[in-house]
Amino acid sequence: MRKILVIDDDKSICESLRLYLSEEGHEVETALTGEEGLRRAQSSAWDLVILDIFLSDADGLDILRRLKAAVPEASVIMITAFHDLPTTVRAMKLGAVEYLHKPIEIDELDAAIQRVLRRKAEIRRKDRASIALSSRFQEHGIVGKSRAMKEIFKTIGIVSQSKTTVLIEGESGTGKELIARAIHEHTDPAGPFISINCSAIVETLLESELFGHEKGAFTGASYRKLGKFELANSGTLLLDEIGDMSLNMQVKLLRVMQEREFERVGGGEKIGTDVRIIGATNKSLRERVAQGAFREDLFYRLNVIHIVVPPLRERREDVPLLVDHLLHKLNRELHKKVSAIQEQAVALLSACDWPGNIRQLENTLRRAVVHNQGALLTADRVEDAMQETVKSGSQSRSSAIKLLDEVEKEHILNALKFAGGNRGRVCELLGISRPTLQRKIRKYQIHL
């Protein structure tokens, strides 16, 4: 049984729809004015709202706009006696999911209702899948509820069903290796996971690291060494910072990917490989190709599945979840018992741009937790840690301090307003002492 609200100033239409839809097994309520309908729409959860575009007391489009602002998830079918294309287009832009004309054809109404309910069921199914995927990947430190992260969770689930080559792009500190590990560990059978940083090893040694070498292959090669391709056989090889690989090494990597075999340095034996390759880079490989620094044919070999990890500043809604996850992790590592964090502290962390992304956020929290006393992580402690992060040179000191000051001043003003100017209550709300509050009031020149 579905809950349906009908908003129409024609009493006969309301009654007819109520009787018909009730016979179809739905729970139906009606409203004869736009304002009444808006109140009812906000007071309960509805599977569907049927809204007339011309009402005696209000413009139906205005009611639609206000309804969608108050209840964004509402599914609204608009009905009208007029065939007006501009109005139809405007209604759809405002968020209507269907548009019917009077006199209402029962078959047309039924079809529209079924389309709406199928879409809602599909959205719920996808949301449940996203939640399930999110919980699966939290164990790897991949946390988020933003749309971008939900799409990454889905992609990991799909890619894990095979050994498809993957290219992961994203700024430093966004968690590219965590995503690569999650893909690997959810692939059956997983096999070994081997990672190598292509930018940290000079070209002459990188070839040996990747393909191995025979004894005597070069000065100092006193024994046979197996390379990463052999060690990762039947598993996953992560080529981190692949965008920094030399053109000469790119040619050799491309040959291995094409032929699925290689030779150790100084050897002549062909060695087959069944390795899934994941490339990760903090550079745009497409731009590197345009610059002539990366081979186009290798780019297309790598770019079978493309995952772009957004920087933290583009998914601020994920920061509170990340903070919670990282605090649990840091408690284990540092043998601390921080069980809560002040709301103001989370606001400070969420407002920061974090040029070093999750890695920088974790380092800042580590500083704060190390020096924190008790179970509550305070805003003062977090602010001190953020100032230390600034001093370490990981972002502009002046811009970071300005941002912190703006956020803190706003929270103090909000707390003063909420507490009616009662400074003792403000101290309780913010978790700071009265002298600290006095000092901040003077600092921000807050006039009471």
Per-chain mean pLDDT for the chain: 85
Task: For residue 139, name the pLDDT band (cuts at 50, 70, 90).
Answer: low
pLDDT in tens, 202-238: 888 899 999 999 988 888 788 889 999 999 999 999 9
Task: For residue 131, name the pLDDT band (cuts at 50, 70, 90).
Answer: very low
Of 10-14, 105-109, 205-209, 398-402, minimum mean pLDDT range: 398-402
User: Residue 133 has what pLDDT?
Assistant: 47
User: Residue 173 has what pLDDT?
Assistant: 93
pTM for this model (two decimals): 0.61
User: Residue 396 has what pLDDT?
Assistant: 45
Instruction: Give the highest mean pLDDT range of 91-105, 152-166, 299-313, 420-434.
Output: 299-313
User: Residue 393 has what pLDDT?
Assistant: 53
Buried b / exposed e over 426-438, threshold 16 CB at 10 Å, is: bbebbbbeeeebe
User: Residue 188 has what pLDDT?
Assistant: 82
Query: Minimal CA–CA distance to 321: which of 371, 364, 361, 366?
Result: 361
Task: For residue 194, name the pLDDT band (cuts at 50, 70, 90).
Answer: very high
Pairing of strands 261-262, 271-272: antiparallel
User: Residue 130 has what pLDDT?
Assistant: 47
Phi, psi of 296 (to 5 degrees): -65, -40
- Whether the pLDDT of residue 402 is over 60: the answer is no
pLDDT in tens, 173-192: 999 999 999 899 888 887 89
Q: How many residues comprise the chain?
A: 448
Angle at Cα 318 formed by Cα 198 and Cα 425, nearest 5°? Answer: 135
Instruction: Give the highest mean pLDDT range of 42-46, 139-143, 250-254, 439-443.
Output: 250-254
Residue pair 239/194 in contact (Cβ under 8 Å)? The answer is no
- Whether the pLDDT of residue 81 is over 80: the answer is no
pLDDT in tens, 153-167: 888 888 888 889 999
Which residues lie closer than 8 Å to 41 by C-beta, 6 or more apart? 5, 7, 49, 67, 70, 71, 74
pLDDT in tens, 268-323: 899 999 999 999 999 999 999 999 999 999 999 999 999 999 999 999 999 998 99
What domains lie within the chain, and their CATH numbers? 3-121 (3.40.50.2300), 143-310 (3.40.50.300), 314-443 (1.10.8.60)
